[in-house]
Amino acid sequence: MIFALAIYLVSCGFHPSPRPTSGNTPEQMFEALIQSPLPTEVTNLEGTGDTWQGHSIYLRFQVEPAFLEAYMGDNFESVPCDAIFSYFELPNPTYDVFSPSWKPEDVTGGICYRSKGFLGETWLGEQFILWDSVTNSVYFYGVGG
């Protein structure tokens, strides 16, 4: 009976929300995209995303400005947050595994950056950073192949 109901729902156009397809931990995602090994300066690391046939990764963590500045170096450019804000939108609610919830739109005084080229330790792609200069929180999005 349940099987028949599932077939009926799918045939009527109902598809359950896709869930993230990454078997990687937030630490592994950070190390593949930003720095390996994970620096001790990084705290409250959380993340989710997809790592199948490329990557689409959302990370949030806290770090001191000096670390962030050293990481970005000359590889990033400052951009208006409005220009990249759509990159921080989660694909659907099932991706919000963050506590508190993922809400980059609530950042006041955010400073935004975009990578000038493809970056990464082992997963190469574009990177986007929204830095909350009040709380030293970083919203990070990395996408690539």
Give the start-to-end residue ranges of the domains of the chain: 22-144
Q: Is 37 left (phi over 0), alpha (psi -120 to 50) or beta?
A: beta
Tell me how far apart the 2 most distant CA atoms of the chain are, in Å: 60
Mean per-residue pLDDT for 58-87? 96
How far is it, in rounded angstroms, from Cα 82 to Cα 128? 12
Q: Which carries the bigger pLDDT value, residue 100 or residue 6? A: 100
Structure tokens at 63: 């770090």
Model pLDDT, residue 1: 45
Closest CA to 138 of 50, 42, 51, 39: 42
Q: Indicate whether 48 pLDDT > 70.
A: yes
Q: Indicate whether 12 pLDDT > 90.
A: no
CA angle 72, 39, 98 (to 5 degrees): 85
Closest CA to 105 of 69, 141, 68, 139: 139
Find residue 126's DSSP bridge partners: 143
Model pLDDT, residue 78: 97
Of 20-24, 33-37, 49-53, 140-144, the range with the lowest mean pLDDT is 20-24
Report pLDDT digits (tens) over 84-131. 999 999 999 999 999 999 999 999 889 999 999 999 999 999 999 999
Mean per-residue pLDDT for 71-79? 97
Q: Indicate whether 5 pLDDT > 50.
A: no
Tell me the average pLDDT of the chain: 87
Q: Indicate whether 8 pLDDT > 60.
A: no
How far is it, in rounded angstroms, from Cα 139 to Cα 110? 10
